[in-house]
Structures are given as C-alpha cells and as structure tokens.
Amino acid sequence: MYKLQKSSTALYIQLYTQIKEDIKNNILASGVKLPSIRKMSNDYKISKTTVESAYSQLYAEGYIESLPQSGYFVSKDIVQNFNTQEIKEEKPLVSKEYKYNFYQARHSKDIFPKKLWAKLHNKVINSINFGSYPNKQGTLGLRKELAKYLSTSRALICEEEQIIICSGFSDSMFIIATILKEFSSSIAIEYPGYKVVERVFKLQNYSIDNIAILKEGIDLKSLEKSNNKLLYVTPSHQYPTGITIPISNRIKLISWAMKNNAYIIEDDYDSELSYNNRPIPSLQGINNNQRVIYSGTFSKALSPALRVSYIVLPKELVSIYKEIFQFSYSGVPLDTQKTLEVFMKEGHWEKHIRKMRTLNKRKHDLMKKAIKSYLKNSVKIVREGSGLALLIKACVEIDWEKLNRLLEEESIKIYSTKSDSTLDDNTIYLGFGCFKEEEILKAVEAFSKVWYKSILTS
Ligand SMILES: Cc1ncc(COP(=O)(O)O)c(C=O)c1O
C-alpha cells in the first residue's frame, strides 16, 4: 500500500516516488504488471489524472514500459537492487587543532592584508568582463607585473609571454612534466628533495634518477654520468637542507645544460624570505641561457591559501605549451589574478615582502633563541636563515614513539622531513611562521619538556 497524504508535495509525485522506490528495491520486479490506472484511482481514491501523471513520469524515466492493449509493466532491462549496497558515510576530515602546531609552511592568520585585499578586490571586480573567456596563460596584466618583479628582484630575463600563472606548485610541475615529455622520459631530481616533484613526474610515467646533494649543491659528476636531459633543483636554498649552490657550480650547471641540450627546472620557492643575506640571483638569469624553466610561488610571502604560483618557460617551450594546453585555462580565479595584479602594480607587494621579511626574521631569531635556551645541546640546527621554519637534528638518542605519543597528549604537533621530502630520517622542522611572536618561546618550552622525557638513557 502506498501512503498518499495531503502535503506540499503533489499526490502524483508521492505516488511516482513510492513506485520508483519499489522498483529500485526489487519489490516490483522487472516485467511485473502495474495495476491499471482505473484500479489505482479507485483503490486510492485519487483522480485518474494523478495516476496517469505518476505513470507518465515513471515511463519517461524508463522505469516502466507500456504495452499496447495490455497496460504498464516494470521495464525488462531495469537494473534493480541498486540501492541495496550500503553507502558508508565518510567522516568529514577535520584536522585537529593543536595547542602548538610547528607546521613548516604556514603563516599566522592575521598576517594576510585582508582589508587592503578586499578594497582592491572591490575595485577590480567592476573591470572584469564576466561575459568572455579569460587569457589562458593568466591575465596579461599580472604576467607583466611578474615579469617586472622577477627581473628586478631575481635577475630573471623574461617577457610576459613566457609566464604561465598556475594554481600552486603541483600544478606548475604538472604543466612542466607534460611539456617535457617529448624531450625525455626520465628526470634527475636532487636528493634529498621535495616529494611533490617525484610524485608528479612519476604520475606522468617518468623514471626518476636521484642525484645527491653535496656541500656545494648537486653532485655534478653523478649528474654528468646519469645521461639525463632534465634536472630539478632548488639552487638558491636547497629543500630541505638549505644549501646554496655557489656561483662557480651554477655556471657549471648551466654549461652542463647547454652542452647536453638539457633543461633545468629551477624551483625558487622561498627567495623572498631570506634573512641573513640578499637572495642569490636566479639561475635563469645567468647568461640568458634559455635552458632554465623557472618556478615561483606566492605561498611563502603572501598566502598558501590563494594557490597562486607561476612558471617562466624558455621561449622555445612556449609554443609547445600553447599547442599542448590549447584548451586549458589557468586554474587561478580571474578576480584573484586581477586583485594580485593591482596589488603588485600599486606597490603593495614590495611593501608586503619587506614587512614579511622583517616580521619573519624576528620570529626566526626568536625560534633560534628558544631552541638554544630550551633544547640546548640535545639538538643541532641544520638549517636556518630563511623561509618559515628551522630544521633541527637530535644529538641524543630519542624514543620517537614515546615522543610522538607524549606530544599528542600535550596537543603539540611537529613534522619531520619525512612528511614532505625524500629525506627519510628524523630531522625535524620547527615552523615559526604560524606562531605569534609571543607564542614562540612558550611553544618551544612546551616541546622541550616532552623532548627531554623522550631521551633514551643507556
Ligand atoms: C620546495 C618547495 N617548492 C615549492 C613550494 C610551493 O608550493 P605551493 O606553491 O604548492 O604552496 C614549496 C612549499 O612549501 C616547497 O617547499
């Protein structure tokens, strides 16, 4: 029996829905005849039109078929029981809020220039033509601003035509990996290195050659021997070790690329946040070599939430990019691109970088001081001087399981280089970007208490 009652849902919809459910659940099996319209109308005291409308909807959706002179039947080729599999409700992924979270690539919430951004956003929204498609590579204005910025601050030699606006580093790498497929099926990657690169290139079926990082950067002899035509490096500030490739080796790298017609992917991810010296000029700009693909991001100095990154292609790769990606558009929303363009054009970006550098240098120094005062000789700092985190290594034997358990109990979260790099040891990032200045000493003190409890005594 179907339940039909007065409600805001029309009677024919109520009838249609209940019959449909019976069909789906195999209560009305395939081939079964439905009661005639007249019978249904009499049994349920509803009009024939109501039944006709319900049947007609079921017919239109293919649940029932009508045979001349015989009536309505449940369709023969209907797939039934498709509701019987229980759909497991996935628990929403809620990331736990820790009291002290030392994540290595985060800013404190209050650092983004929200008011200014909203004002500029309001301004640009009126100038956007929402009726037409945007520029595929990213807006011309933003690319022009980037070309100016990169040439003055990173000594790049480039024109806006060579720049592509991407939505984050993995998107940048995806585009590069796709373009370079016709040149090579393998890539040399600095080891240790950023996991994302290995992941993206593996997904694109490249084979990976790990080339060791020595004191002065990538091992050039191994690189030569490896016979690769592609190389990924972080020359200004190696990730995660922090090593900088000196100019002599940079020139050797460029010579290697020129001699072998190879391409170097230069990941310049945190050059804006260099605290102890001016950032080293880019590899891309050396000698207008056209062998370097440059990759940059707005995550470190502006916001990782905006998802804006960019690549600068050598001229000969631009036409290949245009051919391969002829139907693709930059994934960064147009209003974000335009706001960023004006943010740069009106000089706010330069000011913001200065502010970020000053603030984060203070945080960096506080973190260093806190490590020295609380963790003393039990750790050594293996990377400092830039970005949003310091890297420390234990100088004592640690019970890592105990450490992690106790940290969890105290609502403290730390990250090791295993989390995002191919360096598979227990080197720890102590991120400072996400803390307010006044929190840093307290956070390290809290961490140190757990740390000392986890030292193994022989
Ligand atoms: C080595 C390296 N490259 C690039 C990036 C930029 O990543 P994204 O643009 O996805 O924020 C990061 C961010 O932490 C990084 O560590």
Residue segments in the chain with a per-residue pLDDT below the cut of 70: 81-94, 458
248 Cα: distance to centroid of ligand 1 (angstroms): 26
Which 3 state secondary structure label does DSSP give 128?
coil
- C-alpha distance from residue 320 to each of 177, 182, 197, 316, 355 (Å): 12, 10, 21, 7, 39
Please give all residues whose beta carbon lies within 6 A of any atom in ligand 1, as ranges. 105, 168-169, 194, 234, 239, 267, 269, 297, 299, 304, 309
Question: What is the DSSP track for 318-348?
Answer: HHHHHHHTTT---SS-HHHHHHHHHHHHTTH
Helix and strand element counts for the chain (H, E): 14, 16
Note the Cα 406 to chain centre separation in Å: 30
The residue among 416, 415, 406, 399 whose CA lies nearest residue 449 is: 406
Token look-up 């030392």 returns: 102
Which 3 state secondary structure label does DSSP give 310?
strand
Q: Look at residue 345 in the predicted model and tell me its pLDDT.
A: 98
Task: Work out whether the CA dihedral 173, 257, 151, 357 comes out positive or negative.
Answer: positive
Residue pLDDT, tens place only, 337-384: 999 999 999 999 999 999 999 999 999 999 999 999 999 999 999 999
Pairing of strands 207-214, 186-191: parallel
394 Cα: distance to centroid of ligand 1 (angstroms): 25
To test the pocket of ligand 1, the residue of 103, 194, 199, 417 to mutate (highest count of ligand atoms within 8 Å of its CB) is 194
Pairing of strands 207-214, 263-267: unpaired
Q: What is the DSSP code (8-state) at residue 445? A: H
Structure tokens at 128: 């956007």
Note the Cα 428 to chain centre separation in Å: 22
| Atom number in ligand 1 closest to CA 193 | 1
105 Cα: distance to centroid of ligand 1 (angstroms): 8
| Ranges assigned E (strand) in 7-80 | 64-67, 71-74
Contact 443, 390 (CB under 8 A): no
Compute the distance between CA of residue 353 and CA of residue 359 in angstroms, rounded to an integer.
Answer: 10
**In the chain, what is the straight-line distance between the N-terminal and C-terminal CA atoms, in Å?**
77
Q: Look at residue 291 in the predicted model and tell me its pLDDT.
A: 97
Q: Look at residue 82 in the predicted model and tell me its pLDDT.
A: 61
Token look-up 């019987």 returns: 84
Which residue's C-alpha comes closest to atom 11 of ligand 1?
299
Structure tokens at 199: 């992941």
Q: Look at residue 6 in the predicted model and tell me its pLDDT.
A: 87
In the chain, the domains with their CATH numbers are 11-74 (1.10.10.10), 100-105+356-453 (3.90.1150.10), 112-351 (3.40.640.10)
| Atom number in ligand 1 closest to CA 297 | 9
Phi, psi of 308 (to 5 degrees): -125, 125
State which H helix or E strand residue 431 sits in: strand 428-431
Number of Cβ within 10 Å of residue 122's Cβ equals 10
To test the pocket of ligand 1, the residue of 106, 232, 266, 297 to mutate (highest count of ligand atoms within 8 Å of its CB) is 297
Q: Look at residue 453 in the predicted model and tell me its pLDDT.
A: 97
Which residue's C-alpha comes closest to atom 7 of ligand 1?
169
